[in-house]
């Protein structure tokens, strides 16, 4: 009997899979039997994660990819298709920005749009025909609590993550009869190297106090862990979640419902 949440014989593409939440998803999926293709702009992070996965006798391959560039995405997807079918696409790659509309420049907006929105569009568009042909496929997008509630000084970031949320709904609706499921995850603040780097760079003399303040933003009293996000991603991409599509899943320590 196949263990629950097994991804044995599945092929998964994970963008931004070399670090943070993406790395946790990549390692979790590989441990559950998937052949993981990591698409990342950072060659060092991507290659390191693949090496760590392979050291545990699991299957993974790194592909350098700029998700903001459609040609780059199409070429990588075509290369993967020459060797494997594709069962799962996880659109995790994304960048952050801090600021309200007054201190968000046009260049900031364009940069976030090109990665957080167009990157998701490019990857789904490159895979959707393949999913239609095989009459099955799972798409999981990384949204955010900022997709659905107001967050201070997150104007551009919230805009892009709101688009990820509505893209999820649209794709799920358009392709439900093609055997394609599309959902998204909306994390609150997650403790990743990005968070540590941000605090160190902006609050070098007050690291502990700022970390504690950011942790308490979540009513549960701490930040999320990358593995916790990865475990939810695993469930949503597994066959056990076969009845779930067109849904956003907050994983937020009570942020949305308990911060009233």
Side-by-side strand order, sheet with 11-15: 60-64, 35-40, 11-15, 88-91, 137-142, 180-187, 248-251
* DSSP per position, 56-86: TT--EEEEE--TT-HHHHHHHHHHHHHH---
How far is it, in rounded angstroms, from Cα 236 to Cα 62? Answer: 23
> H-type helices in 84-183, by residue range?
106-112, 118-134, 155-175
* DSSP per position, 136-154: -EEEEEE--GGGTS--TTB
105 sits in the region (left: phi over 0; alpha: psi -120 to 50; else beta) called: beta
Per the annotation, the verdict on 121 as an active-site residue is no
Which residue of the set 113, 121, 157, 175 is catalytic? 157
Active site positions, annotated: 157
């Amino acid at each position: 009997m196949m263990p629950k949440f097994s991804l044995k014989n599945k092929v998964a593409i994970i963008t931004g899979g070399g670090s943070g939440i993406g790395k946790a998803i990549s390692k979790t999926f590989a441990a559950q039997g998937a052949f993981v293709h990591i698409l990342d702009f950072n060659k060092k992070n991507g290659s390191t994660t693949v090496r760590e996965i392979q050291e545990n006798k699991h299957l993974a391959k790194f592909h350098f990819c700029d998700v903001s560039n459609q040609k780059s995405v199409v070429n990588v997807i075509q290369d993967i298709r020459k060797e494997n079918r594709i069962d799962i696409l996880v659109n995790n790659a994304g960048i952050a920005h801090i600021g309200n509309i007054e201190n968000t420049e046009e260049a900031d907006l364009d940069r976030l749009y090109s990665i957080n929105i167009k990157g998701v569009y490019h990857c789904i568009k490159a895979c959707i025909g393949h999913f239609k042909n095989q009459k099955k496929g799972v798409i999981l997008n990384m949204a955010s609590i900022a997709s659905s509630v107001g967050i201070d000084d997150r104007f551009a970031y919230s805009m892009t993550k709101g688009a990820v949320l509505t893209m999820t709904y649209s794709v799920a609706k358009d392709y439900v009869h093609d055997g394609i499921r599309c959902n998204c995850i909306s994390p609150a603040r997650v403790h990743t190297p990005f968070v540590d780097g941000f605090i160190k760079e902006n609050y070098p003399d007050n690291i502990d106090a700022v970390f504690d303040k950011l942790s308490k933003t979540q009513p549960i009293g701490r930040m999320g862990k990358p593995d916790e996000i990865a475990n939810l991603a695993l469930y949503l991409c597994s066959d056990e979640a076969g009845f779930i599509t067109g849904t956003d899943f907050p994983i937020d320590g009570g942020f949305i419902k308990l911060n009233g």
